[in-house]
Structure 1
Amino acid sequence: MNRKYTFLLPALLVGSAMFANAQNKPKPEDTEFYQPVPPVVTPGKTSADAPSDAIILFDGKNLDQWTMTNNRGTAAAWTVADGALTVNKRSGNIETIKSFGNYQLHIEWRVPANITGKGQARGNSGIFLASLGKGDAGYELQVLDSYNNPTYVNGQASSIYKQFIPLANATKAPGEWQTYDVIWTAPTFEENGDVKTPARVTVIHNGVLVQNNITLLGPTQYIGQASYKNAKFGAAPIKLQSHGDPSEPLSFRNIWVREIK
């Protein structure tokens, strides 16, 4: 072989390898995606205001989105006045007409400034993130006056009742409005009823993270351990509890939800 070509061949091989390496070298655009394009959601003016894709569950005017839990189809019998929804201890729980799977929930609540009682008998209510029918069946986020009001810690405000203690007590004084912002991931089930993926929840109380994407053990049980036995399939209503304790009733306002696909 001609000496000139003897030297040229290795050079060509090296050049080809360098070109191939250059071609295979990762580029910034390799990890840039343009589809699918997220939908446009217009935020509210404040973090408490409903964004453009929210379903308004209570706007301070009426209870058109609610029904009695123990008699679905019957109009919710709680009191609406001054932009707030107040528990009627004599009527029972209320829940949304619509059922929800995964969602983001905003809800505000208040115990009266002149609240009486102590422990669990001081402004007790609950937000059932998925109602399982009559009574108190479901997954309960506790509502309670926990401002200088000792009780068992898995039953104080922002606990997942009888399951998970909040990471902090962020309760405001009686008479002040409090806020829960909730991310709910509904459980899923096999065809035979066994749990496939358990429920998860994140809760922010008055701007403070109190439940961090925890995995629930099952629906709330007042007595005994929680489990998914006899849990409901699919989407479920959101329920507000009329606890019936002797202290002055709670009020709720500015309730909205965003469905998460």
Structure 2
Amino acid sequence: MNDVAKIVLALYVLYIGFLPRATADDQADWQVLFNGKDLTGWDGDPRFWSVQDGAIRGETTLTKLPLHNTFLIWRGGEFQDFILKIKFRIRNGNSGIQYLSMEFDKWRISGYQAEVENAPGKVGFLYHEAGRGWLTDVGDFMVIDKQGRKSVISKVADKDELIKAGYYKEKDWNEYIIITHGNHIVHYLNGYQTIELIDNDRLADPNDRKGATRSGLLALQIHIGPPMLVEFKDIYIKHLEPKYGDTVLLFNGKDLDNWQVKGDKEKSKWAVGTAKMSPDNPKLLVNEDSHGEMLNLASENGDSMDIYTKEKFGDCHIELQLMVPKGSNSGIYIMGEYEIQVLDSYGKEKMGQGDMGALYGAAPPAVNACKKPGQWQKYIIEFQAPAFDNDGKKIRNAKFLKVELNGQVLHENLEMPGQTPGGLTGKEAPIGPLMFQGNHGPVAFRNIVIKPVLK
């Protein structure tokens, strides 16, 4: 923020109202799918499936091999829009966790599969069993269009860095978290995001399995081939309200056609490429490639312009990743008017209303979740737009229902009695664009998605 904005803030009436920490209420929302004792609720070929030492055990031997991939199926009903938590340990062979799937023959399944195998760099990827085959590699953000064409838009993580960080523990217990909501799927493995998919393909049916699915069965796989042993335990599912429409990708990774510069376009330093912190000056970003990320290649003094989406939204859920170099300053303006601060606050002990994750001038973040400069960070924002009557009089304030940064909750249910300074118009409205501040310092964004709330 500039000095003028700070002066305005002095007059402004403040209203303080990977994964999030679970509360007791949150835990009550989880359905237990495995009791740790027997296969109650599950159905599969008894030659291969059993329970031992508190875990579901899938095992084949040289004298007991399946003729095709076979599955242990949850018979408690189909699921749609959920968060699934499940731990697995695989000694050898190949397995998978099926979801949003259909049964086309006894104990045979088609649908999305989270890969399970002792292969760092492969475990965590997304496959379509008995359907479209490979969908999304580890590290990729994939979009499938209505014609079934696949495009890698960007990266959710660097595969080599994931392996180096130990995202997978070989022959040990690992935890998947799988999130599905409409056309949007995300995998986490041991807290590391491994893939993201927006699947806009035609919908599959029992006679055409080569399409997307929105609901379906949950199952565990034994893969055809040499003898194998896989175990599963601690299986929980949380149902999500189907209150959002399909996920919309706001940046296609190729161009800025869906974005508009605020002010003089000639002064804009926004570009498309791949961001890295400059090796010569850690306060700057450099562009190392031609696609995937939105970069503001401003100087330290922020000699660029703000940029915003051409499309407007009201109540919504927003997810995005961002990178800031050392000491840099930017902002995310929801509806173009309500700023969530972007700042290099790494290592700071006492956070203020101008630090990373603050609702600028209104509330500091509950914790400092800021990563080191040059690292990708992830915001998840749930926002309720202000409401107005037929005469244009405001009858409900805007509200940040939840703001998370890197898996930590920063704000919940915080009302905004008015817009923050430095916004697009300086006026509140029922809908507005998403805007990124560009006139304060270099910053990069990627994987920018929004889910409008259904009315």
TM-score (normalizing by structure 1): 0.68
Where 1:154 maps in the other structure, the secondary structure is coil
Task: Find the aligned partners of 1:243 and 1:151 in 2 and give their Cα distance.
Answer: 26
Task: Find the aligned partners of 2:362 and 2:428 in 1 and give their Cα distance.
Answer: 19
| Partner amino acid, structure 1, of 2:254 | K
Higher strand share: 2
Instruction: Tell me which residue corresponds to 2:452.
Output: 259
Instruction: Tell me which residue corresponds to 1:65.
Output: 258
Unaligned segments of structure 2, at least 5 residues: 1-79, 82-180, 200-245, 275-291
Given the alignment, which residue of 324, 328, 341 partners 1:123? 328
1:190 paired to 2:389 = yes
Aligned pairs for 1:136-151 (under 5 A) are 138-149=337-348
1:213 paired to 2:413 = yes
The verdict on how the C-alpha distance between 1:55 and 1:44 changes in structure 2, with shifts beyond 3 A counting, is: same
Segments of 4+ moved more than 4 angstroms: 149-152
1:231 paired to 2:427 = yes
Identical residues among aligned pairs (%)? 30
Shift of 1:59: 3.5
The verdict on how the C-alpha distance between 1:46 and 1:59 changes in structure 2, with shifts beyond 3 A counting, is: farther
Where 1:58 maps in the other structure, the secondary structure is coil
Task: Find the aligned partners of 2:444 and 2:187 in 1 and give their Cα distance.
Answer: 21
Task: Find the aligned partners of 1:244 and 1:42 in 2 and give their Cα distance.
Answer: 35
Instruction: Tell me which residue corresponds to 2:248.
Output: 55
| Partner amino acid, structure 1, of 2:184 | P
Shift of 1:152: 6.2
Instruction: Tell me which residue corresponds to 2:440.
Output: 244
Instruction: Tell me which residue corresponds to 2:379.
Output: 180
1:79 paired to 2:271 = yes
Where 1:46 maps in the other structure, the secondary structure is strand
Task: Find the aligned partners of 1:151 and 1:125 in 2 and give their Cα distance.
Answer: 20
The verdict on how the C-alpha distance between 1:106 and 1:144 changes in structure 2, with shifts beyond 3 A counting, is: same
Instruction: Tell me which residue corresponds to 1:95.
Output: 308
Where 2:420 maps in the other structure, the secondary structure is coil
> After superposition, what is the alpha-carbon deviation per residue over 1:199-247, rounded to whole angstroms, capped at 9, x for unaligned?
111111001111112111210137xxxxxxx7332211110001334xx
Shift of 1:88: 4.1
| Partner amino acid, structure 2, of 1:81 | G
Instruction: Give the conservation status (yes or no) of the 8 Å contact 1:128–1:241.
Output: yes
The verdict on how the C-alpha distance between 1:71 and 1:237 changes in structure 2, with shifts beyond 3 A counting, is: farther
The verdict on how the C-alpha distance between 1:62 and 1:125 changes in structure 2, with shifts beyond 3 A counting, is: same
Instruction: Tell me which residue corresponds to 2:24.
Output: none
Shift of 1:71: 6.4
Task: Find the aligned partners of 1:179 and 1:152 in 2 and give their Cα distance.
Answer: 18
Task: Find the aligned partners of 1:130 and 1:240 in 2 and give their Cα distance.
Answer: 11
Shift of 1:193: 4.1
Shift of 1:150: 6.8
Task: Find the aligned partners of 2:197 and 2:256 in 1 and give their Cα distance.
Answer: 17
Given the alignment, which residue of 308, 315, 322 partners 1:109? 322
Instruction: Tell me which residue corresponds to 1:204.
Output: 404
Task: Find the aligned partners of 2:317 and 2:391 in 1 and give their Cα distance.
Answer: 29
Task: Find the aligned partners of 1:244 and 1:250 in 2 and give their Cα distance.
Answer: 9
Instruction: Give the conservation status (yes or no) of the 8 Å contact 1:163–1:217.
Output: no
Shift of 1:79: 1.1
Where 2:187 maps in the other structure, the secondary structure is coil
Task: Find the aligned partners of 1:155 and 1:237 in 2 and give their Cα distance.
Answer: 22
Where 1:232 maps in the other structure, the secondary structure is coil
| Partner amino acid, structure 2, of 1:237 | P
Q: Give the number of the structure with larger relative contact order, counting CA–CA contacts within 8 Å between residues 6 or more apart.
A: 1
| Partner amino acid, structure 1, of 2:440 | G
| Partner amino acid, structure 2, of 1:165 | P
Instruction: Tell me which residue corresponds to 1:135.
Output: none
Task: Find the aligned partners of 1:165 and 1:182 in 2 and give their Cα distance.
Answer: 15
Instruction: Tell me which residue corresponds to 1:17.
Output: none
Higher helix share: 1
| Partner amino acid, structure 1, of 2:439 | H
Where 1:210 maps in the other structure, the secondary structure is strand
Aligned pairs for 1:6-21 (under 5 A) are none
Instruction: Give the conservation status (yes or no) of the 8 Å contact 1:50–1:56.
Output: no
Task: Find the aligned partners of 1:183 and 1:41 in 2 and give their Cα distance.
Answer: 17
The alignment yields a C-alpha RMSD, in angstroms, of 2.6
Instruction: Give the conservation status (yes or no) of the 8 Å contact 1:59–1:253.
Output: no
Instruction: Tell me which residue corresponds to 1:21.
Output: none
| Partner amino acid, structure 1, of 2:294 | L
Instruction: Tell me which residue corresponds to 2:366.
Output: 167
Task: Find the aligned partners of 1:50 and 1:187 in 2 and give their Cα distance.
Answer: 31
